Amino acid sequence: MRNIDHFIGGGAFASGERHSDVFDPNNGDVQARVRLGGEADLQRAVDAANAALPGWIATNPQRRARVMFKFKELVEKNIDELALLLSSEHGKVIADSKGDVQRGLEVIEFACGIPHALKGEYTQGAGPGIDVFSMRQPLGIVAGITPFNVPAMIPMWMFGVAIACGNAFILKPSERDPSVPVRLAELMKEAGLPDGILQVVQGDKEMVDAILDHPEIKAVSFVGSSDIAHYVYRRGVAAGKRVQAMGGAKNHGIVMPDADLDQVVNDLTGAAFGSAGERCMALPVVVPVGEKTAEALREKLIPAIDRLRVGVSTDAEAHYGPVVNAAHKQRIENYIQMCVDEGGELVVDGRGFTLQGHENGFFIGPTLFDRVQPHFQSYQEEIFGPVLQIVRADSFEEAVRLPSDHQYGNGVAIFTRNGHAAREFAARVNVGMVGINVPIPVPVAYHTFGGWKRSAFGDINQHGMEGVRFWTKTKTVTQRWPDGSPSGENAFVIPTMG
């Protein structure tokens, strides 16, 4: 049985008796065991970070960027290995795993430009003989707590910018698929990163709490469910930390009567069912505007869903693979039954799907509901599986109101040919990220990622310049070099630059 250990001080570190099983979602077998650490393991990582941090802070941004360039090269060289490893523990198909890695690399590419991003502001002659300038400095030891659904992308979103800014980073990945984060840390070491600057501590809630409570960890970034995000935010802030905590989502796709329905159906099937729906930016709700639009959309959706191929992760022809474990499969099936009990029309039922030779795998077929109502609990909550719900809207106003009133506000999309409608929708909808004829509006790496309402807790978003701001603190210097002549200033009043 393969054991997955911590990565502390530049190498594998085995400690503790607690373990958790890591499954192969394709067949249901236990393929590895991951250690579940606690305070002592975290302290070992903090000690290693403290030893390495002064040298890394003293390393100029250009040299830090060179490590990022080398890391990018190594990840690209090893992407097939990383994708296979990721798929074997998560269940997503290989092509999707490569996309997971590639999307993380885009933030690494942004981090390669950190010398420019860290430049401060400068004012010459702010007062008589006085100049003012600012500088961005690292926080010190920081941490990230990442989810199972994107085990390559989210860690790179976090540690890429944080480390490039001069911090030491401690990563706590999901215990469901922990191998890829360790492999990324090994590649960072190979790229020239000093030991102790990127470390991986394995664990469950005990490790999370240890991170949130540790006085030397200055900031925490989290991605996961909203209830846990809120917990992380409250506990971390109470401990005096800077916290960004990204939560759940229930993203809507608004379909206007003038939309190209063939394109909409193509986009919807990928956005709703890709990665078995295990994406915070998936599109699990579609809102056709008007009965005519709804009927036409439904007519096209059913055969498109029937054509979807569910297969093992290594099946190059499969559109998506199994979900991550048996507990999550049961959770999704419970939501399907909930929606049936609430009165939703079950058009396509994905329960009971099996794959020959993989009968114990964690597979769920694509599921489609129609005539879902906004008061349904199954609509209000995040299902996080291959389930698409149709919520019919009578008007554009109702279509704006549905995502705006929902407890989550991560992403939303509108499909239309009408520029005025798109512009109006983007301006008015109460959601953090908007796509116009783009089903999954994840911003590019040099912009910023973050939702609203219960989809995010904290004031600063992820990656882009927002990421630089989160992982640094600003120091402002006001300087004067006297020429030796008396200034004649009154030293007992508040100084002004007038």
Strand partners, 414: 254, 436
Q: How far apart are CA 411 and CA 281, in angstroms?
A: 6
CA distances from 319 to 154, 270, 458 (A): 22, 8, 35
88 HSE (CA, 13 A, CB side)? 13
Q: How far apart are CA 171 and CA 154, in angstroms?
A: 11
- Residue 250 and residue 408 in contact, taking contact as beta carbons nearer than 8 Å: yes
Q: Give the DSSP per-residue string, 328-347.
A: HHHHHHHHHHHHHHHT-EEE
- Residues ≥6 apart with Cβ < 8 Å to 133: 120, 121, 122, 123, 476, 477, 479
Q: How far apart are CA 230 and CA 178, in angstroms?
A: 23
Judging by DSSP bridges, how do beta strands 29-35 and 2-4 pair with one another?
parallel
Instruction: Please name which of 173, 252, 218 lies closest in space to residue 451, comparing C-alpha atoms.
Output: 252
Strand arrangement, sheet containing 130-138: 122-127, 130-138, 472-480
Catalytic residue among 112, 165, 280, 339: 280
Tokens of 129: 């003989």
Q: What value, to the nearest 5°, has the Cα angle with vertex 250 and ends 158 and 352?
A: 105
CB atoms near residue 70 (< 10 Å)? 17
Q: How far apart are CA 479 and CA 406, in angstroms?
A: 51
Which stretch of DSSP H or E encloses residue 126? Answer: strand 122-127
Strand partners, 462: 449
* Amino acid at residue number 256: M
> Is 280 a residue of the active site?
yes
Instruction: Please name which of 18, 325, 270 lies closest in space to residue 149, comparing C-alpha atoms.
Output: 325
Reduced to 3 states (helix: H, G, I; strand: E, B; else coil), residue 366 is: coil
Active-site amino acid positions: 280
